[in-house]
Amino acid sequence: MKLVIVGGVAAGMSAASQARRIDPATEILVLEKTQDVSYGACGLPYKLPPDERMEDLQVITAQRFRDERRIDVRLGHTVLAIDRAARQVVGRHADGDFRLAYDKLILCTGARVWSPPIAGLDDLWGQGAYPLKTLEDGRVLKAAVAAAPPKRAVVIGAGYIGLEATENLRALGAAVTVVEALPEILPWLPATLRGRVLDEAGRHGVELLTGTRVESIARQGRDLLVQTTRGTLTADLVLVATGVRPEAGLAADADLPLGAAGAIAVDDCLRTADADIYAAGDCADARHAVTGRSVWFPLALRANRSGKLAGENVFGRERRVPPVLGTAAFKFFGLEVARTGLSGDEAAPAGLDTVSIEVLASTRAGYYGGGGKLSVWLLGERHTRRLVGCCMVGPESAAHRIDTAAAAIQAGMTAEQLYDLDLAYAPPFGPSWSPLLVAASQLIKALD
């Protein structure tokens, strides 16, 4: 069998590696349009400081995949079209056009940076304004920061990458203004928990402008003038972190159906509408564990897991990809922020009658030094009493305690079943009654 994989980052190389484990004889060809494969894009903001190396994010080089796993990785190969009738992909590389046949095809094209309609931005890419999506983006931005450490930076977008980069730009000594078009940052967070993030930004001298759009960017001497709906900002550097969109153009042009957010629609075995074509990673949709609906979550675990399963299923296996909850966490200065399942605003459109509670509990035993207060928000469905959502914000333990909530939601646990869990206790890690158990107790009362 000849297996062709389009895209060579998380999902693509996971698919290729798993396919090689299953069948040593299969011809495996990976077509990657950039010069990098298999790297941890989530770590890009943390490699901006001068004592960090961007190259540390690369897990395995293309040459190692060729030498050690006998996977034919071709860099600088851009696939432009899929000829489904001929079972071929058509594309271009430095030496000209190519047309390659496949028996099975896996699309792992990932997600692309969404470039907002800002006048002047196109002329400043890489020359004052920067994205932060690929390893090459990281190299370019790091080189720019090293050559001229910014004194004033504007970050457009207050998502995970924008806020993580804000922390690291502040560590470099830059004054940072974050401009967010939405009325609030992190709209999935309850207001009280969001307030803690806003307070943290203020404590570290970060200016946050919400409900504000950037209209234009222009260079004036050494300065960048960032015109917003609330006035003009002056900066040395602009980071565009306005989010990503699924890279599903190949599939759409080949008349393959799309799902949530325009991602490639796949079944539980990651097949598209064409039985010979699979899709995995950030380019493909998923099924939500609570609602059962098509959703799109561009997250690392989903990408790696779905790639691995696609690499199995092309051989006729029926390994089903598990549904997702969008479980995620990030660090913002001294806070951990985490979520899983539905937010309050997402529950009603899904047809769920829900009730929510919030608690503030200690992250360590009262007599054990350090720690702080962890805010826990739980969302329960009134009729079934099952847990359907959770958010946490605190100085520690949020990023790991959220996993317990995710497991409870995925298992369909009720508030009572969550409360009955036998969770670990030791003074350095929490009080005898875990903050999650305290929250479950309050949810039980609210559901009665």
pLDDT digits (tens, 9 = 90+) for 130-188: 999 999 999 999 999 999 999 999 999 999 999 999 999 999 999 999 999 999 999 99
In a domain, 47, yes or no: no
422 and 351 within one domain: yes
Q: Which domain holds residue 204?
A: 122-242
User: How many Å apart are CA 69 and CA 382, to the nearest integer?
Assistant: 52
User: How many Å apart are CA 343 and CA 339, to the nearest integer?
Assistant: 9
Q: What is the CATH number of the domain that holds 206?
A: 3.50.50.60
In a domain, 325, yes or no: no
In a domain, 49, yes or no: no
Strand residue runs (E) in 166-281: 175-179, 207-209, 214-220, 223-228, 231-235, 237-240, 244-246, 277-279
For tokens 């565009």, the residue is: 240
20 and 82 within one domain: yes
217 and 126 within one domain: yes
Q: Give the pLDDT of residue 79.
A: 98
Cα–Cα nearest to 378, from 386, 389, 393: 389
389 pLDDT above the threshold of 90:
yes
Cα–Cα nearest to 256, from 282, 284, 298: 284
Q: CA–CA distance from 448 to each of 44, 190, 382, 389, 413 (Å)?
A: 46, 22, 9, 18, 16
388 and 422 within one domain: yes
pTM, to two decimals: 0.96
In a domain, 322, yes or no: no
pLDDT band at 366 (very low <50, low <70, confident <90, very high): confident
In a domain, 326, yes or no: no
Q: Give the pLDDT of residue 256.
A: 98
Q: Looking at the 3D structure of the chain, how many domains does it have? A: 3
Read off φ and ψ for residue 153, nearest 5 degrees.
-125, 145
**Active site residues per annotation:** 42
Residue where one domain finishes, among candidates 227, 242, 257: 242
With a pLDDT cut of 90, the percent of the chain lying above it is 99
273 and 172 within one domain: no
pLDDT digits (tens, 9 = 90+) for 345-362: 999 999 999 999 999 999
User: How many Å apart are CA 146 and CA 139, to the nearest integer?
Assistant: 10
In a domain, 434, yes or no: yes
Q: What is the CATH number of the domain that holds 387?
A: 3.30.390.30
pLDDT band at 24 (very low <50, low <70, confident <90, very high): very high
For residue 439, give the H/E element and its range. helix 435-447
370 and 338 within one domain: yes
In a domain, 64, yes or no: yes
148 and 238 within one domain: yes
